[in-house]
A and B are shown apart, each in its own frame.
Chain A
């Protein structure tokens, strides 16, 4: 109705003043966006700048956005005062393990719940959903005790194992496999493939979009994770970047170039991944909002 020819004509003839008003509002909108956008970027720019600043220039007034004498000193010192390479490796190993294992186990379980009929299937699914409601903080104290009993304090497996099972991931994959066309599997079954081969040849490739979005969410959550590592891995040899960063700040309160260098190191990889896979992220966050 809205686009009947008469009304469209009306709009172009009768409303030149309204047009001007619209244009004005548009520019005002972009102006507001510009200011807010600068607010978003500025802290990153400022930390980057500080990380290239020499210690002697940190406390000068007025502060400089572009360092007069840029130096990599801060980065060098970070690598001296904490085992940076080790910490980076820990973060990479933990994040990749958690992400990959989470995708695989969730896809398998989602497929199991979607494509098989068995007694207790509904209850199992409800159990998965139920655990989504309980905040992680409830499990953290018993988990910590369990890990220390196993002698796994300050170990990478303690950072990885509890993070693999993802009720949310199972839920996503299940929903996706429920709408998979039957013909795809039937073709494979006629060729004599059993469930296992069919899953890897047909179903898992089909679910690649879910794997991508869920993978990115898992990657970000794991790379940025702080609370559980703070409990379980405070030792320099097993800590991951966020905890390393917090301890760096704890020890060098006023060496802001040092702390900012650490922050830059922690933030850059995830922003790069984000920039590379931007499309999936927006979709993923929409799905993942409930499970942040």
Chain B
């Protein structure tokens, strides 16, 4: 039913609260960030118009470039692993069993917990001298590294902890995808003598490509915004080997009081996300099978 007559004017009342807040706290700031990126401003002195100065400076900013590279390295490590782990979990749990229900709860605990809290848990466990991980390694004769304070290992740790936290989330997305696949497809393959390995590659995976696409889009958008785990686990160290884009935004806004510069960075971040999502959407025709 659509409201007509004198009732139709009520739409204003229904939309006003939400829209006023959206305008004030989302739309205006987005536009303001664009304007702000053209200024140099420390909040104390008068803002100074620098046109595209911030962007040209960004292009030559080694720290920012390093942060972009680290973000990409993070994505390159995190994305494939979390997708494989999440999909494996979904395949293992895609059956009716009480144990499967319990397992879903277990794999969800990291997903619902605050990043700050779980990152601190891992920071304690990865402590090089008193952490339980290195103690366990010592039992099998391995002298564990200083996980969060060694170049290389620091990024590996950040990726591993991120996979640990998000695997359950990826799992639930894939479970939904798997449950949409008609059972007789796989049964037919079974009867034809295909082993599970063949069934997975020839039947399940092709039918699952729409979900794979959706999951990869979501994860990619999220992982460009990686921040909290880095902030708590490594703080960008050691020797700035794990700095990431959002962390650079925070540092420039806070520590260096460069509001315009930070705003310019946030636009670059947006551009990255936008372009990558666009490319993904364009490429999907080549490998995603939509049924029907």
Decide: B130 and A58 in contact? CB cutoff 8 A.
yes
Beyond the given pairs A267-B117, A286-B173, 14 more chain A to chain B contacts, judged by CB atoms under 8 angstroms and listed by A's residue number, are A1-B188, A108-B15, A109-B14, A109-B17, A117-B2, A121-B11, A135-B224, A138-B267, A142-B263, A165-B18, A226-B114, A259-B120, A259-B124, A270-B114
Decide: B250 and A267 in contact? CB cutoff 8 A.
no
B115 cross-chain contacts in A, Cβ below 8 A: 224, 226, 242
Number of A-B contacts (CB under 8 A): 293
| B103, chain A: closest CB distance, angstroms | 6
Interface positions of B (Cβ within 8 A of A) = 1-3, 7-8, 10-11, 13-15, 17-19, 21-22, 25-30, 32-33, 36, 43, 85, 88-89, 92-93, 99, 103-118, 120-125, 127, 129-130, 132, 135, 164, 167-169, 172-173, 176, 184-185, 187-188, 190-191, 196, 214-215, 218, 221-222, 224-225, 227-228, 231-232, 246, 249-250, 253-254, 259, 262-263, 266-267, 269-270, 273-274
> Contact string, A261-285, partner B, CB cutoff 8 A, digits 1/0?
0110011001101110010011001
**Measured CA separation A24–B228 after assembly (Å):** 41
| A230, chain B: closest CB distance, angstroms | 7
Decide: A137 and B14 in contact? CB cutoff 8 A.
no
**Measured CA separation A258–B32 after assembly (Å):** 41
Is A251 at the interface (CB under 8 A from chain B)? no
Interface of B is mostly: helix
**Measured CA separation A133–B273 after assembly (Å):** 9
> Contact string, A1-36, partner B, CB cutoff 8 A, digits 1/0?
111000100110000000000000100011011001
Decide: B116 and A61 in contact? CB cutoff 8 A.
no
A30 cross-chain contacts in B, Cβ below 8 A: 92, 99
Interface positions of A (Cβ within 8 A of B) = 1-3, 7, 10-11, 25, 29-30, 32-33, 36-37, 39-41, 43-44, 46-47, 50, 58-59, 61-63, 104-106, 108-109, 111-113, 115-118, 121, 124, 127-128, 131, 133-146, 148, 161-162, 164-165, 167, 170, 182, 185-186, 189, 194-196, 199, 220, 223-224, 226-227, 230-231, 241-243, 245-246, 249, 256, 259-260, 262-263, 266-267, 270-271, 273-275, 278, 281-282, 285-286, 289-290, 292
**Measured CA separation A44–B118 after assembly (Å):** 8
- Most chain B CB atoms below 10 A, which of A2, A136, A271: A2
| B236, chain A: closest CB distance, angstroms | 14
Offer 8 A-B interface pairs, CB within 8 angstroms, sorted by A: A32-B88, A43-B164, A108-B14, A131-B27, A135-B224, A137-B249, A138-B33, A167-B26
Decide: A40 and B116 in contact? CB cutoff 8 A.
no
Q: Which 10 pairs show the lowest CB-CB distances between chains A and B?
A: A112-B14, A109-B18, A165-B21, A139-B29, A116-B11, A142-B32, A224-B114, A165-B22, A142-B29, A162-B25
B15 cross-chain contacts in A, Cβ below 8 A: 108-109, 112-113, 124
**Measured CA separation A262–B121 after assembly (Å):** 10
Pick the contact of B11: A10, A25, A112 (CB < 8 A).
A112
A189 cross-chain contacts in B, Cβ below 8 A: 1
Q: Nearest residue in B to A167 (C-beta to C-beta)?
A: B22
B123 cross-chain contacts in A, Cβ below 8 A: 249
**Measured CA separation A140–B270 after assembly (Å):** 13
| B241, chain A: closest CB distance, angstroms | 20
Decide: B120 and A285 in contact? CB cutoff 8 A.
no
Decide: A161 and B114 in contact? CB cutoff 8 A.
no
Decide: B17 and A223 in contact? CB cutoff 8 A.
no
**Measured CA separation A164–B266 after assembly (Å):** 22
B266 cross-chain contacts in A, Cβ below 8 A: 135, 137-138, 140-141
B267 cross-chain contacts in A, Cβ below 8 A: 138
| B237, chain A: closest CB distance, angstroms | 14
A36 cross-chain contacts in B, Cβ below 8 A: 85, 89, 107, 167
Q: Indicate whether A105 sits within 8 Å of B17 (C-beta atoms), given known contacts A2-B184, A142-B33.
A: yes
**Measured CA separation A241–B28 after assembly (Å):** 29
A259 cross-chain contacts in B, Cβ below 8 A: 120, 124
